[in-house]
Amino acid sequence: MAEMSVGVRDHKAVAAARMAMSGKTKGLRALLPFVGPAFVASVAYMDPGNYATNIESGSQFGYQMLWVVVMANLMAMLIQSMSAKLGIATGKNLPELCREHVPKGVSVTLWIVSELAAMATDLAEFLGATLALHLLFHIPMLAAVLITGVATYLLLTLERFGFRPLEKVIAGLVAVIGLSYLVETIFSRPEWGQVVYHSVVPWLGPQESVMLAVGVIGATVMPHVVYLHSGLTQRRIIPRDDREKRMINRFSVKEVVIAMGIAGLINLSMMYMAASVFYASGHTAVADITTAYQTLTPLLGPAAATVFLISLLASGLSSSTVGTMAGQVIMQGFVGFTIPVWLRRVVTMIPAVIVVALGVDPTRTLVISQVVLSLVLPVPVITLIYFARRKDIMGILVNRPLTTWVASAVATVVTLLNVLLIYQALGGPMPSIGS
């Protein structure tokens, strides 16, 4: 029965996609069969790590770091569209191509680095959902960790019914996050002039702002979903010829812009909410999610604080599910084997259990995990650029030279920010940029 359900659901989606490509459906109806992969990937761009870095940035520096969110989101659109295109063009995911085209030792090294990034991701996502359960329902932290593990595993079991059910559930959780921050925007009443100005005017101060800027990028452009997105598109709707490859890619680009645009707006709202509520009221030391929740209650009322936690719970559950999916793609692609989903779920939640058991500050751990992700980020981005520029691999969908140059500039910016972070960590003085 389960196999029949999978076949029926997938067949309907593929049939609708074929109708769109033949011109029998237009507009939104034509786009809908292709909607799913980018929304799944977008969850990682609004995970609990984003909450930690955006709240700390907004409370310490007000609106001044909004431009980092905008820049990171534009990077995300480019990188995720390239990853999706790779899967469409080749029928393979990025880790699989690495295994086929790079020496075995390099492939294994890339796998290890990528698994560490996936574990850092899972740590952030698990802690976010755990904190939300703890603060919402007063559940002990260790119990909340276990509940989070079971809940995300149950979400993952939806995959047996085809790609559509899980995509719909994740899209629903994204909608919860988006609606929550629409409500938070109404409560917080940001200064829109400041929001617009600092979204486009760069500013980078000394010391902590550099680490937070790198953390924001690490929380926004996520290494594991660079790998995952190619896996989500590689066999979803299989093109029969070059014309269909082009059409599927066009629909994919539209979906990426929509999904990542929504994720970007949510990230902006996280930071400007912290700026308008915490920074403006003199609460510049709000550097963790628990304090944010406790401070929101007297400033905006219990309703705003509860909405904040609901969005955090939706974020943690959905992004942890996606993180586990990415881990499976990474392992299968790089080394050619997989482990049961339940075992991966157990293994990747161990760091979160240790952090909770030792009483380590969860939000500080979240921020550090995002910095780790940013340090790993150049690896999948550089390999993606390398394969996407090769016509023998990409065929008709090979990157244009301009796309390759822009993507290379993105990889350079990320790498330079990481160098700045290491330089600062070693005690080097940091100049201010902007005013």
HSE of 208 in the Cβ direction (CA atoms, 13 Å)?
Answer: 12
Most distant CA pair in the chain, distance:
64
Spatial distance between the Cα atoms of 46 and 218, rounded to a whole number of angstroms = 11
Helices 104-137/362-376 angle, 10° precision = 160
pLDDT for 364 equals 66
- pTM value is 0.86
Q: Which of 153-162, 235-244, 388-397 has the highest mean pLDDT?
A: 388-397
Percent of the chain at pLDDT exceeding 90 = 34
Q: Would the pLDDT of 176 be above 70?
A: yes
More confident residue, 232 or 299: 232
Q: What is the pLDDT of residue 412?
A: 87
Return the SS3 of 379. Answer: helix
pLDDT of residue 161: 77
Q: What is the pLDDT of residue 367?
A: 62
User: Greater confidence, 130 or 422?
Assistant: 130
Q: What are phi and psi of 388, to 5 degrees?
A: -70, -20
At 266, is the pLDDT very low, low, confident or very high (cuts 50, 70, 90)? Answer: very high
Choose between 8 and 249: higher pLDDT: 249
For residues 86 and 371, the model is more confident at: 86
**What distance in Å separates the CA atoms of residue 112 and residue 250, rounded to the nearest whole number?**
34
User: Taking the mean position of all CA atoms in its chain, how far away is CA 180?
Assistant: 18
- Using an 8 Å Cβ cutoff, are 226 and 94 in contact? yes
Instruction: Report whether 128 contacts 309 (CB < 8 A).
Output: no
Averaged over 131-153, what is the pLDDT? 89
Reading the block at residue 284, the tokens are: 């510049």
Topology at the third CATH level for domain 34-426: Amino acid/polyamine transporter I (1.20.1740)
Comparing 71-75, 259-263, 297-301, the range with the smallest average pLDDT is 297-301
Among residues 73, 75, 46, 49, the alpha carbon closest in space to that of 176 is found at 46
Query: What mean pLDDT comes out for the span 297-318?
Result: 87
In sequence order, what are the residues at sequence separation of 6 or more whose Cβ sits closer than 8 angstroms to the Cβ of residue 11? Answer: none
79-124 confidence digits (pLDDT tens): 999 999 999 999 999 999 999 998 988 888 888 888 887 777 777 7
- Four-point Cα dihedral 231, 145, 277, 64, nearest 10: -40
Mean pLDDT score of the chain: 84
Sequence-distant (6+) residues with CB within 8 A of 100 are 92
pLDDT at 250 over 80: yes
Measured between alpha carbons, how far is 180 from 183 in angstroms, rounded to an integer?
Answer: 5
Distance (Å, whole) CA 432 – CA 435: 8
Percentage of the chain lying above the pLDDT 70 cut = 89
User: Residue 423 corresponds to which tokens in the numbers above?
Assistant: 């330089």
Q: How far is residue 367's CA from residue 124's CA, in Å, rounded to a whole number?
A: 8
217 or 88: whose pLDDT is higher? Answer: 88
Site of tokens 């140059």: 405
Judge whether 156 and 325 are in contact, CB under 8 Å.
yes
Say yes or no to pLDDT of 253 above 90: yes
Residue 249 Cα to chain centre, angstroms: 21
Cβ 40 vs Cβ 167: under 8 Å: yes
The DSSP output letter for 275 is: I
Amino acid letter at 146?
L
- C-alpha 351/C-alpha 220 separation (Å) is 21
Mean pLDDT (whole number) for 363-376:
66
Angle between helices 302-335 and 104-137 (to 10 degrees): 160
| Residue 39 or residue 355, greater confidence | 39
- List, for residues 315-324, the tens digit of each pLDDT value: 889 988 888 8
For the cut 70, the answer to whether the pLDDT of residue 337 exceeds it is yes
Comparing CA positions, the residue from 87, 351, 393 lying closest to residue 226 is 87
